[in-house]
Amino acid sequence: MPPVNATVPRALSAVGHYENFPVASWLCPARLRPAVAAIYAFARTADDIADEGNAGADQRLSDLADYRAGLAACITGAIEYRRWPEVFIPLAVAIRHYALPASLLEDLLSAFEQDVARTRDSRGYATREELLDYCRRSANPVGRLLLHLYGVQDAMSLHQSDCICTALQLINFWQDLSIDLPRGRYYVPAEDCGPHGLDPVSPKAWPAHPNARRLVALEADWARELMLEGAALVHRVPGRAGWELRLVVQGGLRILDKIAAGGFNSFRARPQLAALDWPVLSWRALWM
């Protein structure tokens, strides 16, 4: 999720992903950058297997099964990695050096596998609770892994991290509606569609509905509330990492501002951060 000119791990940079917040930037303590890069490379590559290119669902699930085997080899200390050595060799070092919780890495793969299966079956999410369970596995593990590296493990910090990570995941969903809907990926909960008159089983008709923008506004408010609930974590993470987290939070909030400025019409266009946004983010981060 690195924005303009952010420093990105080598395994990620070749893909050229647009992201909303910095990854392993100079604000991250130098001693932790290799481990942070390894975690993001693991997550980003798995996400690409699940989502990028033209492979069918069966091939994606087969590749994710191989990827899961690579993770198991990392965890058990096996030496050989037949596929994705650029991911698993650095990850194995990070797991060994920092005793990274294996269950969090496994949760990420569970979420990616679910994404492939639901897209294949054209299935969305019935309730917010269902979507939050997905976020618990697709987003929250990254925050918890980073807190583990920083030595922050108290219950309040973990809760705030989960709020921030879930908010970022939701923001990506509402930012990417113009991309996800044509690709058969549906994240707006059905229970939110009904009160606005949108048919949850006909998502491709949502953009033309007169209440579509109100629905996006509702979801954006939900994401903002979660982000603000977790924002105090920036004062609990030590040193420069806390300042990087401030930019993460402000990057997410800025995307929500852009969604609002576009009339909540992200069904039609994808709002993104640009170079001119960074002075604004830096100023807001300073006063958190």
Instruction: Tell me the per-residue pLDDT of 46-99, one tens digit each, with 9 for 90 and over.
Output: 999 998 888 999 999 999 999 999 999 999 988 777 799 999 999 999 999 999
> Is pLDDT at 1 greater than 80 in this prediction?
no
- For 223-236, the pLDDT digits (tens) are 999 999 999 999 99
The C-alpha atoms of residue 186 and residue 202 are separated, in whole angstroms, by 10
The C-alpha atoms of residue 88 and residue 34 are separated, in whole angstroms, by 12
Asked whether 185 and 122 are in contact (CB, 8 A), the reply is no
pTM score > 0.85 for this model?
yes
pLDDT confidence of 130, banded at 50, 70, 90? Answer: very high
- For 100-127, the pLDDT digits (tens) are 999 999 999 999 999 999 999 999 999 9
The C-alpha atoms of residue 255 and residue 248 are separated, in whole angstroms, by 11
Mean pLDDT of 205-218: 95
The C-alpha atoms of residue 170 and residue 136 are separated, in whole angstroms, by 11
The angle formed by the CA atoms of residues 92, 93 and 98, to the nearest 5 degrees, is 105
Asked whether 28 and 36 are in contact (CB, 8 A), the reply is yes
> Is pLDDT at 169 greater than 60 in this prediction?
yes
Mean pLDDT of 162-186: 95
Q: What are the boundaries of each domain within the chain?
A: 12-286
Asked whether 137 and 144 are in contact (CB, 8 A), the reply is no
Share of the chain above pLDDT 70, in %: 90
The C-alpha atoms of residue 180 and residue 124 are separated, in whole angstroms, by 12
Tokens of 221: 């408010």
For residue 1, the SS3 value is coil
pLDDT confidence of 23, banded at 50, 70, 90? Answer: very low
Q: Which CATH code is given to the segment(s) 12-286?
A: 1.10.600.10
pLDDT given for residue 19 in this prediction: 52
Mean pLDDT of 156-164: 97
Reported in sequence order, the residue ranges of the chain that DSSP labels E, i.e. its strands, are none
Asked whether 102 and 95 are in contact (CB, 8 A), the reply is yes
pLDDT confidence of 25, banded at 50, 70, 90? Answer: low
> Is pLDDT at 37 greater than 80 in this prediction?
yes
> Is pLDDT at 256 greater than 90 in this prediction?
yes
> Is pLDDT at 6 greater than 70 in this prediction?
no
